[in-house]
Amino acid sequence: MRSTLSDCFSIDTLRNAARRRLPKGVFDFYDGGAEDEITLNDNCAAFRRVRLMPRVLRNVSNIDLSASLFERPMGLPLAISPTGAVGFGWRGGDIALARAAARFNIPYTLSTSATASIEEIADQAPGRHWFQAYILQDKARLHDLIERARVADYEGLMITVDLPVGGKRERDFVNGLAFPMKLTHRNIGQFVRKPLWSLNMLMKAPPTMPSLAGMKALSSDSKKMVSVAGRNYDPAFDLDGLKALRDRWPGKLIVKGVCHPQDVDAILAVGVDALAVSNHGGRQLDTSVATLDALPGIVRATAGRVPVLLDGGVRRGSDIVKALALGASGVMTGRATLFGVLAAGEAGVDQALLILQDELRRTMQLCGATRLADIDRGLLAAVDSHFSGATIT
Residues annotated as part of the active site? 280
Cα–Cα distance, 316 to 52 (Å, whole number): 13
What is the C-alpha separation between 152 and 124, in angstroms, rounded? 12
Cα 273 to chain centroid, rounded: 18
CB 378 within 8 A of CB 368: no
101, 80 contact by CB (below 8 A) = yes
Helix (H) or strand (E) holding 111: none
Integer Cα distance of 308 and 291 in angstroms: 12
Contact 226, 166 (CB under 8 A): yes
Q: How far is it, in rounded angstroms, from Cα 284 to Cα 230?
A: 9
Q: Report whether 34 contacts 285 (CB < 8 A).
A: yes
Which residues make beta-bridge pairs with 34? none
What proportions of the chain, in percent to the nearest 5, are helix, strand and coil? 45, 10, 40
Residue 173: enclosing H or E segment and its boundaries?
Answer: helix 170-175
Q: Residue 314: helix, strand or coil by DSSP?
A: coil
Cβ burial 67-90 (10 Å sphere, 16+ → b, else e): bebbeeebbbbbbbbbbbbbbbbb
Question: Dihedral of the CA atoms 272, 293, 98, 22 (nearest 10)?
Answer: 140
- Beta bridge pairs of residue 159: 133, 255
DSSP characters over 146-167:
HHHHHHTT-SEEEEE-S-SS--
Three-state SS string over 224-263 comes to CCCCHHHHHECCCCCHHHHHHHHHHCCCEEEEEEECCHHH
How far is the first Cα of the chain from the last one, in angstroms, to the nearest whole number? Answer: 49
